[in-house]
Chain A
């Protein structure tokens, strides 16, 4: 049949007619321009044929004219198919919703565990986590990624040395290492105080022990400063020498400063984009504008969608494209020197103990070479040079 597709599209029915003079009935249908096909004789008194659904009313009017018994055997084609589909809509919708719910639940946070923290810290942390959106029933894709979390948490909490963030399925695990509190001073055994490094003694405060040095004395590393041996020579008494010995020490620092510098400065212009990534293909969801920055810096945050324990190839992407401006700055020698000195001081501060004081700064050597200013600076620092050394009694 030529328009088989058309038949399927419009929908057709198989009709069985029973009675006498069925040929006349068929002639009547044909005259009324009703398309019928596959006319088959079933037995003496019945014939089956197929016809379009839309012609069924005509069939009934023809039946008024010539009485036969009509029976519809089979309904085929698209209209009936969609009708059947509609009847099953509930079931299909249910399946889709169930799948959606499972996906949604797979991407939620169901447990937040904090390990290794003291009760106060744990309480504080759990409050902070709630602020950051990490709570039971929160969505993983609305929460920062582990690295950012780690940075934020360790920035906010002074008492935490290190915090490890781990996402395992729907569980967030935080491993906390707290800073140790100064413990109660242990009873120490007998000890001397000796010099840590070369220095000139400026001052000393001795709590216990016998100082064997005087102010303005030059000491070498390892030299005895405060003795733990007191009492008479014949019957010595051992104590744990304790005290501070402030000595003037010297530090040499080398610094180099480029006279011509390139800076990258954020201009503050930025474009935020959101996208859904499927496989390696990205579909933008938000932020379609094409930024036209000459220099830019892109930050990408990717959160994969999970299904049960698997990660699907689908992931949500947050992108921030920031405009960067490159600036050239040329220092005069004077400016460069100032910068170099502050840099040198900063370097020094990192190496010396916190309670040390810088008392003098001397530029020993200054040279401009290959567009760089090279500086050798010497610092006089007053610091505690005492080091505890236990006395071994033979």
Chain B
């Protein structure tokens, strides 16, 4: 329950102070360039990877990306750059 309270407070502070959510809250920042690139910050690791599907662990939930000819261009502890033809981006809640 403490976690939920914390979340609520954070959300309130962010709203009141007009801060960007990805900084204050542990949510990913996802940038897409057309269908070709997807850039994910604040990820928590790779769950599964194939050339058609990738599952990435987030602080809360997972991110599922579907498409074709996936290549991980870069992978750093908090960043990931995926290249290929992206067709779907899905959030999977806990």
Q: Which residues of A contact B (CB under 8 A)?
A: 1, 22-23, 26-27, 30-31, 33, 35-41, 47, 49
Interface size of B by Cβ–Cβ distance < 8 Å?
Answer: 15
With contact pairs A30-B75, A31-B77, A36-B75 given, residues A41 and B49 touching in the complex (Cβ less than 8 Å): yes
B88 sits at the interface (CB 8 A): no
B48's partner among A23, A36, A49 (CB-CB below 8 A) is A23
Q: Chain B binding site: helix, strand, loop or mixed by DSSP?
A: strand
Across-interface contacts of B50 in A (CB, < 8 A):
41
Mind listing 6 A-B residue pairs with CB under 8 Å?
A: A26-B46, A26-B49, A37-B75, A38-B71, A38-B73, A41-B51
Q: Which residues of B contact A (CB under 8 A)?
A: 45-51, 70-77
Of all chain A residues, which has the CB nearest B57?
Answer: A27
A196 to B46, CA, bound (A): 125
* Seed contacts A26-B46, A26-B49; 10 additional CB < 8 Å A-B pairs: A1-B74, A23-B49, A33-B77, A35-B76, A38-B71, A38-B72, A38-B73, A39-B71, A41-B70, A47-B49
Across-interface contacts of B51 in A (CB, < 8 A):
40-41
Task: Give the interface centre of A26, A35, A41 by most chain B CB atoms within 10 Å.
Answer: A41
With contact pairs A40-B51, A41-B50 given, residues A26 and B75 touching in the complex (Cβ less than 8 Å): yes
Across-interface contacts of A1 in B (CB, < 8 A):
73-74
A31 to B76, CA, bound (A): 8
A37 to B76, CA, bound (A): 9
Of all chain A residues, which has the CB nearest B56?
Answer: A23
Task: Give the interface centre of A22, A27, A31 by most chain B CB atoms within 10 Å.
Answer: A27
- Report the minimal beta-carbon distance from B51 to chain A, rounded to whole angstroms: 5
A37 to B70, CA, bound (A): 13
- Report the minimal beta-carbon distance from A73 to chain B, rounded to whole angstroms: 16
Across-interface contacts of B76 in A (CB, < 8 A):
30, 35
Across-interface contacts of B46 in A (CB, < 8 A):
23, 26-27, 30
